[in-house]
Amino acid sequence: MYAKRPSTRSVMVTLVTCLATACSSSAPPASNVTAGAEVASATKPIAATDEPPTVAQAVAQAARVEAPRAKIVPHAMEEHGKIRTDNYFWLKERENPEVISYLEHENAYYEAVMEPTEELQKTLFDEIVGRIKKDDNSVPYRRDGYYYYSRVVEGGEYPIHCRKQGSLDAAEEVMLDGNALAAGHDFFALRGLAVSPGKDILVYGVDTVGRRFYTLHFKNLTTGEILPDTIPDVTPNMVWANDNRTLFYAKQDPDTLRRYRIYRHVLGTDTAKDTLVYEEPDETFSSFVYKTRSKKYVMIGSFQTLSSEIRYLDADNPSSEPKVLQPRQRDHEYQADHYGDYFYIRTDHEAKNGRLMKTPVSQTTLEHWQEIIPHREDVFLTGFELFKDHMVVTERRAGLPHLRVIKQSTGAEHYLDFGESAYQASLSANFDFDTNVLRYRYTSMTTPPSVFDYDLDSGKKTLLKQDEVLGGFDSADYVTERLSAAARDGKQIPVSIVYRKGLRKDGSQPLLLSAYGSYGATIDPRFSAARLSLLDRGVVFAVAHVRGGQILGRHWYEDGKLQKKKNTFNDFIDVGEYLIAQNYTRSERLYAIGGSAGGLLMGAIVNMRPDLFHGVIAHVPFVDVMSTMLDPDIPLTAGEWDEWGDPRKKEDYDYMLSYSPYDNVEAKDYPHLLVTTGLHDSQVQYWEPAKWVAKLRAHKTDSNRLLLHTNMDAGHGGATGRFKRHHETARDYAFVLDLAGISK
C-alpha cells in the first residue's frame, strides 16, 4: 500500500513555507494567468480581519497574485543511450508534505481564477440536479424467487438496495442503505453486492478512500446482523459457490494493483487463513472470477491485452481443483459460458472480429471446438447470453450495436429493430435462465435511458421505464446526427453529434468534442440530462469515434495502438477540422474533453495542434507515458505493454517518446487548459497531471488559463454521490461557457 496523506499540521507548516518562496527555487517569474479583466479577478484581495490569516487564506492570497510554480529538481533517466531529464520527478513523493502543499497551492489558484464563474457554476449545478428525480426506483429484476431493485430518496446521495420476495406486492426488505454506510466519509463507493444461493447472506465491498481497495462485509439478511467475517484490501469481484458458505474473490497486488490471486473464504473461518485457489504468475496478466449462467461452474479467468485463459471448477464442490478450459496462446482471446453439456465460447482464434463456438464439457481444448456462428468481416461479434430456449448474440455492424435472437431448437433468428440512426443498446439484468423474456437497455443522444422487456418468441417490446427528465424536457427540441469525417489517410471516422434544434451552421456555435480511443473501448452515443445545460446555451456536443476503439470492429482498435497510436490523435484533429469545414463551429469556438487514456489524447493534440482548439479539459490524464511504461512497479504498467508498447525495446521507446505529452511540451502557445486529478487515483497516478501542468507553466508562451484541480478525497472516478458529483460537471461546463463568452 502507499503511505497515508500527511497530517494537517505537517501540511500547514510546509504550505506556509512553500508560499513564502512561491513553491520554487529556480523557476522563472510567473506570467499573467489570463489577460485583462481575468487578471484583475485573480488579484482580488482577501478581506482584512482582526484575526491573522488562516493557512487557506494565505494560500488563496498568494494564488491570486501569482500562478504556482513547482520547484525544479533535475532527475536524469537514461534508456537506449538517451538521457531524459525530468525536472518534476519529485512530485511522485506522495509522503512529502511539500508535494501536498504544491497541490493545495494549485487548488487555491484554480479557485481564484474560477471565482468569477461561481454564480454560473451554481446556476448550472442547480439546473443539472433540478432535472433529476429526487425520489426514484430502478426497474425490479427477478432472481431466485426475489425481485431486486434500488431506490433513491430526496436528500440522499446513494441508492438504498432492496428486495421483495415472490411478488412486487410483498413487503419491502431493505438490504443496504448506501446513505447510512456513507455517513462521515468524503468518498464512498459500494460495489459487488452479491446474495448467496440460500438468499440469506449478502456480501458487499466498501471503499472510502478512492484507491479501489475494498473491504468485504457479510450481512445476514434474515437477522440483519453484520457477520464478523471481514476481508480487507481486495477487489469487489467475487462469486458464491453453491453451498451457501463459500465465497471466491479476487485480490490485487498492493503496489501494482494487478488482480492476480483468487481466494476461497468459508463463512465463520478466519479470513487471514483463506485458501489461495489460483495465483497468476505472469505479470502481464490479471485474474477475475465469475459464475456461469447455469450456476454449474465457477470460472477463473486470466487475461491481458492479446490473450486469455479460463479455468473452471464445480460450483457444487468448491474445494475441487480448477481445470484449464483452453491453455493460453499468444493472440488468442476467448470468453466462455455453460449450457447443457457444452461450454459456449466467443473466440478470436482465426477470426479477428470473433466467432461463436461450443465444445463438450468433457473435451474442452481447441481441437474439439465446433463452430456455431462463423467469422464475418463486416460484423464484430462482441458477446452472447444463453437462455433455456434462446441465445442472444450482441454484435456491432457499421458502428452500431445489434441484438440477434437465435432459437436454440431450430436455429431460426431475427434482429431487434431500434428505429434510430445512432444509439446505444445493451443487455441488462437477465438472471432468469428459464425465460423467454429479454431485458435490455436503450438510449440515444436525444432519448433518455430506457429499460425494455422483449418477448423472444413474439417480438413484442414493453417499455418498463424511461428515465424522467424534469424541467420540461422534450426530445423533439434536439437533433442528433451520425456524420463521417475523412481522416488524412482516407479512413472514414464516425462522428456522433447532438445540438438544440434551430442550429445555425455558420460556424458561430461553440462545440465540445469528446473522444477516448484506447483499449478497444467503444463510446456509443448516449443521453445525458446534464449535457442539456450546454445544448440549451447553444453549445454543440460531438463524439469522435477515433481509432483505438472498436466501434468499427477489431481492426479499428488495432489501427490505433502500439506503432499506430498516432492514428488516434490524427483522427481527432481531422474530425475537428471537418466540423469546422462543415460550419458546425470555428477554431476559436472549438473545445475538447477527454479523460484517462482520453486525457492522453488531449495531451497529444494540444502539443500537435494547439492552434485548433480554444480550450481543452483533460480529466485524470495519462500524459507521462514514457516514465510510467518504463516502471513496472507503477500500477497497471506491465499489463499494458501490448497496448502502448514496451519502451525497453528501442523501436517502441522511440515511437512512444515521439508523442508522450509530457515529454513533448515546448515553448509555444497552448489553448486554455483545465486539468483534473485525484490524490488517491489508482489508474493514473496524480503526479502525471501535476508534473504536466508544472512543465507547461514553465514553457508555455501564452497568457491563457492553465488550471490544475486535485480532488484530495477521491480517486480515478472523481467525486461520488448522485448530486455531489455534478459540482464537477458544473465546473467543466462553466470553464467552457466562460471561455465562449456565455455567462448565464
Q: Which residues are catalytic?
A: 596, 681, 716
Backbone angles phi, psi at 40, to 5 degrees: -60, -40
- Cα separation values, 121 from 106, 165, 265, Å: 19, 44, 48
- Reading the block at residue 261, the C-alpha cell is 490471486
Query: What does the alpha-carbon distance between residue 568 and residue 622 come to, in Å, rounded to a whole number?
Result: 14
In the block, which residue shows the cell 438544440?
500
What is the distance between the alpha carbons of residues 256 and 286, in angstroms, rounded to a whole number? 11
Are the beta carbons of 409 and 457 closer than 8 angstroms?
no
Q: Please say whether the beta carbons of 384 and 392 come within 8 A.
A: yes
Q: How far apart are CA 619 and CA 626, in angstroms?
A: 19
Are the C-beta atoms of residues 551 and 396 closer than 8 Å to each other? yes
- 297 CB-near residues (< 8 Å, 6+ apart): 291, 312, 313, 314, 315, 338
Q: What is the DSSP string of 508-542?
A: -S-EEEE----TT--------TTTHHHHTTT-EEE
By CB neighbour count within 10 A (0-12 exposed, 13-18 middle, 19+ buried), where does 13 fall? middle
696 vs 87: CA distance, rounded Å: 12
Give the phi and the psi of residue 129 in degrees, each rounded to 5: -75, -20
For residue 597, what are the contacts with CB-CB under 8 A and spacing of at least 6?
Answer: 516, 517, 518, 519, 548, 622
Q: Which three cell numbers stand for residue 657?
A: 517518446
